Amino acid sequence: AQSVTQLDSHVSVSEGTPVLLRCNYSSSYSPSLFWYVQHPNKGLQLLLKYTSAATLVKGINGFEAEFKKSETSFHLTKPSAHMSDAAEYFCVVSLTGNQFYFGTGTSLTVIP
């Protein structure tokens, strides 16, 4: 069975400081992993995806994530938070490409 755990439901950072949003997954096989961002009352936008190529994945808006198989983790990072980064972030896993399993989300607050 596949599952996704986002370890923090809320994260607060000061503007200009690093962001770390944590995600662990369980899967019997090598999955595809995704991070999406959702601003209030909007749809989800893809930030980045891992599909068994490079383990360090760079995405849009300065975000990146590292796939660590030994730790079954796919944490999202950004060196310097911007006010516009305040949003809900979802970690997603897919094995077959047919179904996608979503974490419960992490709400990021950026303090000016």
Partner 1 sequence: DGGITQSPKYLFRKEGQNVTLSCEQNLNHDAMYWYRQDPGQGLRLIYYSQIVNDFQKGDIAEGYSVSREKKESFPLTVTSAQKNPTAFYLCASSIHSGAVNNEQFFGPGTRLTVL
Q: Which residues inside 66-105 make contact with partner 1, applying CB under 8 A?
A: 90, 94-100, 102-105
Query: Which residue stretch of 19-27, 48-56, 66-74, 79-87 sits at the interface with partner 1 (rule: CB under 8 A)?
Result: 48-56
The torsion angles phi and psi of 42, rounded to 5 degrees, stand at: -125, 170
Q: Alpha-carbon distance 18 to 97, whole Å?
A: 32
The only residue of 32, 62, 66, 72 in contact with partner 1, by rule CB under 8 A: 32
Q: Which of 7, 22, 27, 44 binds partner 1 (CB under 8 A)?
A: 44
Q: How far apart are CA 95 and CA 9, in angstroms?
A: 24
Applying CB under 8 A, among 12, 14, 17, 46 the residue interacting with partner 1 is 46
Q: Report the alpha-carbon distance of residue 85 to residue 74 in Å, rounded.
A: 19
